[in-house]
Structure 1
């Protein structure tokens, strides 16, 4: 019970700590004849407790409150534990805290007198004395040198650690303010309600301002969470910040979509009438002259700040970005571009502090950029780049599982929303304890509580309040899908084509990419350029990864050569093979029996050249020349125990050959071949023509045609048991339809990683990269930023994947996802 009492006191302090609310005084007379009659004057907190035993169990099992065992409040209660553990209320009781000075607090317990409420006869080492002072009679109880004072008044039992407080109660000096009575008498079915005198709220780490008068919160405690909901009241007699939201309709809070997951906190406030809101703030600050904002905030509905370790960023969210841009134009000068987003200097760095103080106190809004409807102002260009990067890869609070868990407690729209992240409570909490407790608090780790949220929604002359602090659990501190940026590398020149992942088996994966100067880069997972090669011409198609003598090699062709490099950039013996005539199709690689006995196929117009892994011409392949130009890279297809080599000609002829190049199936029909490679589906050869006709050829040469009801941007891909089609913005994966946002999409690609299949597709206008699994489900954390088709490969760790894309025109980005 003593341990419980210590946790109870911690709880009593924890509620106002997270709210940042306490202190104030309200004085008025009469009497109601209820427990409320005996609440001490100037009390800081009153707790209405319906079931003392249930509350005890809840608090002892709460992992957050259990962290405070070494703080002074525990010592305070342990000194009185014998008395407190012998209180057995059977009906509602009140527990009140009065702050005597910075290091001393006093408690008062109030309950209806019942037969077994307090049984001192069972106590050892006790002394009970009846005293009379100022014509008031009361008892002094001494147990093991610890003293408390009690009295029974009108069938109400009162015990306090302070003699003066008990005497004041006996003389009728109790809490009788009208606002207090309002919150005390609010109906509640909750077993535990906290009434908190609220004079100040911590808007940020450096600012605590007069906010409200009293709050009434229904507190819910589970082993993994601490939540509270209720209302808070302000008065008009003194300036209180809550009143600046008068006549403002709470708007939607979207800041969670902007806050990086490594931020320490964020503040969001909303308004529907910027002019009235600014006027209310000036009245609160006692100012007469208006700050000239040239209409910047006329189309803004949400504003606030994001706190980092050494910097504060400011944001505004516009309902009409064009209007806000126009209003900002005279204050900005373009400075640089990062990931196709312009970062400009801002000439009025103190504007937000002058306009929105005390909500915003930063005077260093030096840079500005826009992402969607957010305009973000930062102290440094580096912070601007980091926020842009995190936003584009969805590495933001909104995408975390712990935010989604907390969001179930919050309203989508509110007047004021305060986030504390990274379990960064210690500095804020330590100030509410005396000096002895400070170090104990600072040494407490709150990492398993990555988010605390406090929300106020103004409604007439009061506000709804929600507080939520939940334990995250094992792996939920990372971004949903755990997408993270591994590197963002600037090349010497603009990127050419699509970057690729090159898997090195046990050596991890690398990135291979070519620039417009035809330089080939081989890059480590950490972004280090391991080697480069000047090729003299663009690579045709994709680079193939092949296993030569147990080591991975890069195989590809340019218009005049066939290259084979090992992972150290060394050319394989016999390579490169140079050609006088132009190579006209990307390299084809066949591995008939999956035994690394490769056949490499080069196409030069009508001619077909086949090489082995030593660079020698394969003898005995009978198909050396087509009758017309070959329009696709030759394809190897295996059906049952038969191998087929398929070659499509410009004339429309389809050659289906055996391994040795002899005709294996005679095809009687000519086709108008599109760019979609010929594939195998249900033991038939599939040709998608330029007219969007699907032609099926059986192994007996029978042909069936199906006119596809699709648009011009159609693509068909199949790999084993995974089939993907794209019709404009309609993506189907194994029959499951996903209607993507309207846009311009790259062709979908299928990748096989650790026996799992994934599909990538990029919207090139909005620069969003999507990754789906074979069931057609979008992976958590996607879409992410990218301007090209994405390459996938194995990452470090179980189920880890690396994703490579082009970023800005000369940049390559590698992401990691679990």
Structure 2
């Protein structure tokens, strides 16, 4: 059985909403003269109501409960039922629900009788008649299409939709279960409490779940939420699943760190004594033959199952991953690797069902892999890859706002935790309304998460339930970062992938492998073309638009390439060189009109070409006095253009468009690899000694010694500046302190008039994206192993980064 048993979810989740679920019987007659004495036998759920009219108004204002307005049971709590419309109790009331058969239920309303409780004098379309059976009299009341039976016993009014129930109550056949009396008499200051009987639910042909005897839940709801807290009690006289947690100390539930945000549901249970819980599960199932223990669970504190879109996955959380890994060693064989996570085949796929059924029933634990302290068992490698991707990308339940909104109601530790996601509630709840097609059409899209939690404590369990509507300020998982594709190349990737744009606005990826093959990949992950080059691309490819068509331009050590979107060489390209090209290509477009100038550096030599592959003869700076140490850059200040060229001897040449000296700089600089930039109408040089040198347009130099580390980096674009000093990232002066690690140089990208900074931690393989205010963007960090490139695509903002050694990942924001 590959999926989580749906009936088990129905038993555990939403038991307080309607017709709950659990069974026990004890015949010890008692009469105290309280409302409890008139609860009919075998009630499935009994509601204790302090103020009936206030409750009716609250229910009608609840966004969740109003979805049940076309169901019969909803009418019991509202004025849509003409019988209830005319009930006006002034003290506590009870509403009991009995299931007559699979498709019919009956209600019984119990409250102290008063003169104005049930007045029908002014009611139209009514009939009232007195019936007498076995010398017991009661009334049949009909108002329009609603019919009920009523009687008054010891100043208590009892109204029921079932004549048989009224007769049974008159004959003393009432609920006498001892556990029911205990939960009924529990102190509560809440206005609305549900008492729920346990019942057996079939897991399969041979196993039925008998979870508990009775539960008492104080229910609270607003227009946006439904929560409940209380206790659940099992009995020792018959096997009940809740008792498997006896003697176990509830442990911390961490499964939300693992659950993909698009999963359908999950079940987690915890224990501190693996042998004890396994023994109690065997006792619950009536098994006498001891199971062969593997030792795998001795270092485990949490286990459970996650239902994905198509398959299910089993997980265990270890308190000592090395011990668990050693215990698993004889059952696993290395199969494959994904994002540097080893996926292994598992030789005991039925182990979990044999050990933990009915909590886990899957017999398809075919593969296993480790994520920190989690060991995850999946049916297929595809499911394994999905979970690994979502975990590394932080695309898990833990990182959603609706989980943050729900977790405040829950304890950090519990014995049993059940989660339903994606508003996938109808199938569980419809078990209570098997013939109600209207109910099955209810949409719970605005309730993306419901959680119920049991924490065992002596001979009972604390119960907490939470279900909340997504408000306007709550992020859905679809609004976060999602992985569009992960494409694998033929060989190891040589450089970080780069995003470029095509004429129609789509993002394309340019990347090169170690055989020097250049790939052009679409926004959907399709390799459009590849091209064998003579050597590695120097620096990054540059985007240019020639005759209205997008091209990419770059240099290798021996050639200058200009390729169209189909990978074809432009006319007269490539330009081949005898002498080695020593710097990445520089591209200047002085007036933003497509009249490009391409600058190729060969040690000291400066070659400037136009888009037709012709040398620009009017550029006068042909050769430097020493080796050029950076690609020349173009800076515009006011109405003037400046071309800046740095030499190994420390000279800084600041030239005009035609290559003549425009600013005379007498000072020599020990240039670092940080490109020269423009800031506040000055030229900025960051030296190897981490001195910030400012040069004004008239050649004046001022120096500032920076109090920074050896790995300092500086970049600026427009009015946005980003600096990195070890793990201290500052964007426009605002500090974003990163975890300690080894980081790539921060990169600035302009998207829709806003600037974003990308940076990657290469040890933990995490990619971060910050806005210009230093705020980390929703959904980050994600998995990646190189510098990340950002671009506005046709419909979404896209980010591309190297994944594994030979794979490229694209994310959409």
Preserved contact between residue 127 and residue 142 of structure 2 (Cα < 8 Å):
yes
Preserved contact between residue 22 and residue 211 of structure 2 (Cα < 8 Å):
no
Aligned residues: 801
Deviation, 1:374, is 1.1
Q: How does 1:184-199 map to 2 (within 5 A)?
A: 184-199=184-199
Q: How does 1:1-40 map to 2 (within 5 A)?
A: 15-16=15-16, 21-40=21-40
Deviations, residues 611-654 of structure 1 (Å, cap 9, x unaligned) = 12222211221211111111111111222222221111111222
Q: 1:206 to 1:393 in 2, by over 3 A?
A: farther
Q: Does 1:448 align with 2:446?
A: yes
For structure 1, the residue ranges without an aligned partner over 5 or more in a row are 1-12
Q: 1:604 to 1:684 in 2, by over 3 A?
A: same
TM-score of the two chains, using structure 2 as the length reference: 0.93
Deviations, residues 696-732 of structure 1 (Å, cap 9, x unaligned) = 2222323232222222222111112111111222211
Preserved contact between residue 80 and residue 146 of structure 1 (Cα < 8 Å):
no
Partner of residue 553 from structure 2, selected from 555, 565, 572:
555
Deviations, residues 585-604 of structure 1 (Å, cap 9, x unaligned) = 00011122222222111100
What's 1:726 paired with? 724
Q: Which moved more, 1:671-680 or 1:174-183?
A: 174-183
Q: Does 1:94 align with 2:94?
A: yes
Q: How does 1:564-575 map to 2 (within 5 A)?
A: 564-575=562-573
Q: In 1, Cα distance between the equivalents of 2:503 and 2:19?
A: 53
What's 2:327 paired with? 327
Q: Which moved more, 1:413-422 or 1:580-589?
A: 413-422
What's 2:771 paired with? 773
Partner of residue 747 from structure 2, selected from 749, 760, 764:
749
Preserved contact between residue 19 and residue 201 of structure 1 (Cα < 8 Å):
no
Q: In 2, Cα distance between the equivalents of 1:34 and 1:499?
A: 76
Deviations, residues 349-399 of structure 1 (Å, cap 9, x unaligned) = 111112212111111111001112211101111111121122222222222
Q: Which moved more, 1:755-764 or 1:138-147?
A: 138-147
Deviations, residues 103-155 of structure 1 (Å, cap 9, x unaligned) = 33221111111221101222344443334433433323344575422222222
What is the DSSP-based 3-state SS (H/G/I as helix, E as strand, rest coil) of the residue aligned with 1:353? helix
What's 1:4 paired with? none
Deviations, residues 654-704 of structure 1 (Å, cap 9, x unaligned) = 212222222222222222211111112222222222222222222232323
Preserved contact between residue 537 and residue 558 of structure 1 (Cα < 8 Å):
yes
Q: How does 1:82-481 map to 2 (within 5 A)?
A: 82-144=82-144, 147-200=147-200, 209-434=209-434, 436-437=435-436, 439-472=437-470, 478-479=476-477, 481=479
Partner of residue 488 from structure 1, selected from 486, 490, 508:
486
What's 1:578 paired with? 576
Q: In 2, Cα distance between the equivalents of 1:328 and 1:570?
A: 53
Deviations, residues 409-438 of structure 1 (Å, cap 9, x unaligned) = 22222111111223323332333234x32x
Q: 1:208 to 1:635 in 2, by over 3 A?
A: farther
| Aligned residues: CA RMSD | 2.5
What is the DSSP-based 3-state SS (H/G/I as helix, E as strand, rest coil) of the residue aligned with 2:121? helix
Preserved contact between residue 400 and residue 480 of structure 1 (Cα < 8 Å):
no
Preserved contact between residue 495 and residue 516 of structure 1 (Cα < 8 Å):
yes
Preserved contact between residue 198 and residue 212 of structure 2 (Cα < 8 Å):
yes
TM-score of the two chains, using structure 1 as the length reference: 0.93
Q: In 1, Cα distance between the equivalents of 2:297 and 2:156?
A: 56
Partner of residue 598 from structure 2, selected from 582, 597, 600:
600
Q: In 1, Cα distance between the equivalents of 2:309 and 2:487?
A: 25
Deviation, 1:480, is 6.6
What's 1:802 paired with? 798
Q: Does 1:812 align with 2:791?
A: no
Deviation, 1:332, is 0.6
What is the DSSP-based 3-state SS (H/G/I as helix, E as strand, rest coil) of the residue aligned with 1:494? coil
Deviation, 1:314, is 0.3
Q: In 2, Cα distance between the equivalents of 1:625 and 1:204?
A: 84
Q: 1:18 to 1:280 in 2, by over 3 A?
A: farther
Q: In 2, Cα distance between the equivalents of 1:206 and 1:479?
A: 39
Deviations, residues 2-58 of structure 1 (Å, cap 9, x unaligned) = xxxxxxxxxxx9645689633433432223332222212221111112222222222
Q: Which moved more, 1:272-281 or 1:735-744?
A: 272-281
Preserved contact between residue 19 and residue 454 of structure 1 (Cα < 8 Å):
no
Q: 1:652 to 1:477 in 2, by over 3 A?
A: closer
Preserved contact between residue 572 and residue 613 of structure 2 (Cα < 8 Å):
yes
What's 1:648 paired with? 646
Q: In 2, Cα distance between the equivalents of 1:79 and 1:472?
A: 28
Q: 1:146 to 1:744 in 2, by over 3 A?
A: closer
Q: 1:487 to 1:213 in 2, by over 3 A?
A: same
Partner of residue 621 from structure 2, selected from 620, 623, 647:
623
Q: 1:183 to 1:204 in 2, by over 3 A?
A: farther
Preserved contact between residue 219 and residue 226 of structure 2 (Cα < 8 Å):
yes
Q: 1:79 to 1:762 in 2, by over 3 A?
A: closer
Q: In 2, Cα distance between the equivalents of 1:654 and 1:207?
A: 82
Preserved contact between residue 26 and residue 42 of structure 1 (Cα < 8 Å):
no
Q: 1:97 to 1:658 in 2, by over 3 A?
A: same
What is the DSSP-based 3-state SS (H/G/I as helix, E as strand, rest coil) of the residue aligned with 1:297? helix
Q: 1:363 to 1:18 in 2, by over 3 A?
A: farther
Q: Which moved more, 1:786-795 or 1:656-665?
A: 656-665
Deviations, residues 769-815 of structure 1 (Å, cap 9, x unaligned) = 11111111110001111111100000233xx3100011111111111
Preserved contact between residue 201 and residue 210 of structure 1 (Cα < 8 Å):
yes
Deviations, residues 535-577 of structure 1 (Å, cap 9, x unaligned) = 1111100011112222221111111111111222232223221
What is the DSSP-based 3-state SS (H/G/I as helix, E as strand, rest coil) of the residue aligned with 1:120? coil
What is the DSSP-based 3-state SS (H/G/I as helix, E as strand, rest coil) of the residue aligned with 1:417? strand
Q: In 2, Cα distance between the equivalents of 1:222 and 1:614?
A: 70
Q: Which moved more, 1:58-67 or 1:607-616?
A: 58-67
Deviations, residues 56-96 of structure 1 (Å, cap 9, x unaligned) = 22222334334445556579999993322211112221111
Preserved contact between residue 233 and residue 459 of structure 2 (Cα < 8 Å):
yes
Q: In 1, Cα distance between the equivalents of 2:809 and 2:310?
A: 26
